[in-house]
Amino acid sequence: MKSVGDKLIKVSLIFMILLSLVLSWKIWTKPSNHRLEDANHKANDIIQKKKVTDVYVPTKLFYRKDKTVTMYTNRESLISNIQQELTQLGFKDGHSLNRTEINQLIATPFRNIDLSFPTELPIGFYLENYQLDVRESTNVDHLKFSRIVIDLDNHKLYFANRNKEMLAAFTIDGDLSKFDKLLDDKQTNYYDVEMTKNNLADVYYLTKESKLKTYSYIVATQSFTTFSKAFFYQSEDLFSSEGGDDVNLSNGEGESLTIQSRNGEVNYFGKLQNTSNDLYSNTFRYVENLGSTLGTIRYFDNTGSDITYRNYVEGFPVFGEDFKGTLDITVQNQKNVHIATNQETIQIPIPSEETVSLPPTQQMIDELESLGIDKGKIKDIQIGYEWQSNSDTRQVVDLVPKWYLKYDGEWQSSEQVKRLLQAKEPFREGRDD
């Protein structure tokens, strides 16, 4: 029976790959040097737009069970259920915290749930979009947070920043017992973590080796009309121009879209569709317009004028070259926008039982430190999946778990950082002589 099952999987895989090849050929058989109005009218008519609460979500959960035990999970269903329970509660007495109150909270450990976002966003943006029942106006909407801390014993909710400092507090009105039931679900796989004063970038460290599955996905090559419809402010009257095998679209309003045939990289330059001061809503419009095209995508990083949204698989972010698995949006002067992404998107998972073991966080850091890393340049650390080309077919990609660091302003795998440090090693040794 097992051999029959294996044959069925192989036959199905071959069929899906052939179908993908046919669709890719149709996509690249494009008209040139004429108007693309009809194609654009027909594209994306059935796209289901994403909601803000599908994208701006916490991606990690830390459960402080008692004074000595803290556990971590990124199980998406648990995080979603915890978040859903929050919306059923009432919140009152919202206020910002002064330094004395912050110091007291830091010095007094308490049993809590810590929902962690990949990066900061305004409290007001979160409260509005998640429609929390806040029963009076507050003065904390402008504060930026990345962590929601639920005090399970004292009925308090705190908004905190990356430095583990509490910024604002609310009193919770409601029953918190459902949280304990959700946290005790036997299907949740928790990892032991610790936080010490020596932890870099104020992140929790995994204390044990982690065994994670590798994944393979069939990829789809998205039509150029998918991106023109989602990005162009005026998408009804587009022109294409010769550019070899590349796609080059533009209109009379100064907007342009290019897709490189060599690697599938997509670049759009044009006018911002929304012109408010809200960078989050302004950039989300493009995510919304793409619907489910890019799969599971989350708010991931923010540098002030640039927001990065990234694919997530099993609760972990995906990192790839040429903007694979990424939607990067840069806003200039609150009116111009540059969007970078990729035409290749992961679609259908292929069953696999292969695993990769990753060392504890401190062990990974120690190895980089032995090569002379500047620890002050490490601003974040987490596990992610590396998008790798499959050696057997271009229609399948492999996703392999690795340690990632935000080092010197860029997200890089620990292996990439290691190679970078090793390349500099002779010069470092020369200065020591």
Domain count, the chain: 3
Domain shared by 338 and 367, yes or no? no
Position 298 scores a pLDDT of: 98
Residue-wise pLDDT tens digits, 362-414: 999 999 999 999 999 999 999 999 999 988 888 999 999 999 999 999 999 99
The first and second tokens of residue 34, run together, are 């004429």
Domain shared by 79 and 168, yes or no? yes
Check residues 29 and 415 and name the one with the higher pLDDT. Answer: 415
What dihedral angle (degrees, nearest 10) is formed by the CA atoms of 350, 189, 61, 303? -40
pTM for the full model?
A: 0.87
Domain shared by 269 and 345, yes or no? yes
- State the residue range of the domain holding 243: 216-349
User: Does residue 9 form part of some domain?
Assistant: no
Domain boundary among 304, 329, 349: 349
The first and second tokens of residue 384, run together, are 């992610």
User: Does residue 79 form part of some domain?
Assistant: yes
Domain shared by 64 and 190, yes or no? yes
Domain shared by 254 and 359, yes or no? no
Q: Is the model's pLDDT at 429 over the cut of 50?
A: no
Residue-wise pLDDT tens digits, 160-188: 998 778 899 999 999 999 999 999 999 99
Q: Is the model's pLDDT at 265 over the cut of 60?
A: yes
Position 14 scores a pLDDT of: 59
Q: Which CATH number belongs to the domain containing residue 282 in this structure?
A: 3.30.310.160
Q: Residue 121 corresponds to which amino acid?
A: L
User: Does residue 330 form part of some domain?
Assistant: yes
Domain shared by 304 and 321, yes or no? yes
Position 32 scores a pLDDT of: 43
Domain shared by 70 and 127, yes or no? yes
Domain shared by 93 and 181, yes or no? yes
Query: What mean pLDDT is reported for the chain?
Result: 87
For range 302-308, the mean pLDDT: 93
Domain shared by 167 and 120, yes or no? yes
User: Does residue 199 form part of some domain?
Assistant: no
Domain boundary among 333, 349, 365: 349
User: Does residue 44 form part of some domain?
Assistant: no
Q: Is the model's pLDDT at 268 over the cut of 50?
A: yes
Domain shared by 337 and 359, yes or no? no
Domain shared by 71 and 138, yes or no? yes
